[in-house]
Structure 1
Amino acid sequence: MTDDSLLARALVEEATKKSGLVWVRSDGPARALWHVWHEGAAYVVGGGPGEQPLPSGLADGAVAEVTVRSKDKGGRVVAWTAVVSEPAPGSEEWRAAVDELKGKRLNAPDAQTMPERWARECRVLRLTPREAVTDLPTGSLAAVPLPTPATTRDPVPAALPKLLRRRRAR
C-alpha cells in the first residue's frame, strides 16, 4: 500500500467513525443512514418495521457510494465506494455488529428484544471501504426530496396577523 492509500483509508475511517450519518446510494437516490464503525467497516441496520429504510440495490456483493458528512457543519468530508455484504443473522460477525448497533439505536421501543426482532424482520449490512474518492464536486449536488406521506401545515390564514395584533393590544 502506498502512503496515499493509507492516508485515504485513515480519512475514511476517522470521518465515518465521527459522523452521525452517512449518505448511501446504490441503484436509486441516496439515503441518510445512522451507522456504527466496527472492525474496518460501517454497519447499518434497517429495512424492517420501525427502522430506517435502506436504499434500493443494497444486496450482498453490490457496490454502494458512501458520502460522509461533518457532524458539526453537515458538509461533505469524504466519499468512498463500499462493497456491501450481509452477515447471516446469528453468526459471530452479525452478533458483534448488532452489539455495537444496539448501543447507538436511539428511542428503541423494545431495547431488550431488539436483536431478535432485527434477526427476524430487518437487515444488517456491512459496508466495507473499497476506495476513497477524494475529488469533491465543484457544483451543487442538491437533489429533489424523496416522496413522503408527511405533510406540512396549511398556509397561515390571511386574517391571523390582524387577530394577533388585536390580542396583543388588549
Structure 2
Amino acid sequence: MTESLLARALAEEATKKSGLIWVRGDGPARALWHVWHEGAAHVVGDGPGEQPLPAGLTEGAVAEVTVRSKDKGGRVVAWTATVRELAPGSEAWQAAAEELKGKRLNATDAETMTERWARECRLLRLEPHAATTELPDGSLSAVPLPTTATTRRPIPAALPRLLLGRKKRR
C-alpha cells in the first residue's frame, strides 16, 4: 500500500516538473506538452497548428504515460491513465484550457487560442490509476514517427567562416 502511494506521488511530482510526457494509446508513443491540473495531466491537440495526439485516445480508453527527467531526459516513472475528453465550454474544460494557455509557447493567436481549441481541437484529461518506477529491459528505442515537419535548408558553406571569422595571416 505504501509503495503504491509513493509511486503515485512520484508520478504526480515528476509529471508536474517535466515539460514533456510520452503518451501511448493504440499505436506508438508520442511526446506531448502538457499541464498537471487537479490531479491529472491535460493535453490539447489534433487541431491545426497543434500537436498530433496518439491514436486510440478516446473517452474511457487506457493510455500509458512515461515521464522523463527534466534534468537528464531519462525515464523516471511510467503510469497508466484513463482518458477523459473534456467537453468544450464546460467548467472543467475552461479551467484546464486556462492552465494550458499559460504553458503554450509560440502561439500566433494567444488572445483567441482557447476559442480555436474549443472549435478545432481536443482537450484530454489523463487520470492516473497505476504507477510503476521499475525500469524496462532494453532501450525502448524506436524509429521516429513520420511528420510533415522539415528542416529549412542546409546552411551555406561560407556561414561558419562568417560567424567565426577568418584566421588572419601575418
> If the length of structure 1 is used for normalisation, what is the TM-score?
0.88
1:125–1:140 CA distance, 2 compared to 1 (3 A) = same
The aligned residue for residue 85 of structure 1 is 84
Task: Return the offset for 1:150.
Answer: 3.8
Task: Return the offset for 1:8.
Answer: 1.1
> 2-side partners of 1:113 and 1:50: how far apart?
14
- Please tell me the root mean square deviation across aligned C-alpha atoms, in Å: 2.1
The aligned runs of 1:120-139 (5 Å cut-off) are 120-139=119-138
Task: Return the offset for 1:72.
Answer: 1.0
> 2-side partners of 1:5 and 1:142: how far apart?
28
The aligned residue for residue 141 of structure 1 is 140
> 1-side partners of 2:154 and 2:109: how far apart?
38
The aligned runs of 1:98-109 (5 Å cut-off) are 98-109=97-108
> 1-side partners of 2:25 and 2:40: how far apart?
17
> 2-side partners of 1:48 and 1:54: how far apart?
9
The aligned runs of 1:51-130 (5 Å cut-off) are 51-130=50-129
> 2-side partners of 1:148 and 1:115: how far apart?
25
> 1-side partners of 2:154 and 2:48: how far apart?
32
> 1-side partners of 2:103 and 2:140: how far apart?
29
Q: Which runs of 4+ in 1 moved over 2 A?
A: 148-156, 167-170
1:168–1:153 CA distance, 2 compared to 1 (3 A) = farther
Residue 7 (structure 1) aligned with residue 6 (structure 2):
yes
Residues 136-169 of structure 1: per-residue CA shift (max 9 Å, x gap): 113111100111234457889xxx79xx8xx868
Deviates further, 132-141 or 115-124: 132-141
Task: Return the offset for 1:5.
Answer: 1.6
> 2-side partners of 1:134 and 1:41: how far apart?
18
Residues 103-135 of structure 1: per-residue CA shift (max 9 Å, x gap): 000111111111110000000000000100222
1:153–1:39 CA distance, 2 compared to 1 (3 A) = closer
- Name the count of aligned residue pairs: 163
Q: Secondary structure at the match of 1:7?
A: helix
Task: Return the offset for 1:82.
Answer: 0.4
Q: Secondary structure at the match of 2:41?
A: strand
Gaps of 5+ in 1: none
Q: Secondary structure at the match of 2:146?
A: coil
The aligned residue for residue 48 of structure 1 is 47
Q: What is the identity, as a one-letter code, of the residue corresponding to 2:138? A: G
Q: Secondary structure at the match of 1:103?
A: helix
